[in-house]
Amino acid sequence: MKAVQLTNKILLIIMLGIVNVVAYAQPPSISVQPTPFQGASNLQTLLSYAMYAAWLVVFGMIIVAAVEAARGNHMGDTFKRALIGVIIAAFLLTFGWAIISGVF
């Protein structure tokens, strides 16, 4: 019985010592400043122009779909391709731009 009590006291002393060591531990000071690679701003500008041109194509496809609808060709191949293309392109441009902007 005395051995168990002595062991408990030793464990308590060890644990208190560990708590003090952990309490005074300091995190390392790390300062990382990310820098873009050379030419990143040019790439960003190029992607911005490409994005602008892609949205112009999307709006052009909307106009084509509207003209086809006005001609009464609602179920024609041109109308279907333009409408599906607009939906897919707008989805890809929106989420693709978010991904590319997050990376660069």
Residue 12's pLDDT is 61
For residue 20, what are the CA distances in angstroms to 16, 23, 24, 28, 29? 6, 5, 6, 18, 21
| Chain segment 5-64, per-residue pLDDT in tens | 656 666 666 665 555 555 566 777 888 887 777 877 887 788 788 888 888 988 888 888
Of the pLDDT bands very low, low, confident and very high (cuts 50, 70, 90), residue 4 is low
Residue 104's pLDDT is 58
> Which letter, b or e, does each residue of 40-55 get, where b requires 16 or more Cβ atoms within 10 Å of its Cβ?
eeeeeeeeeeeeeeee
What's this model's pTM, rounded to 2 decimal places? 0.52
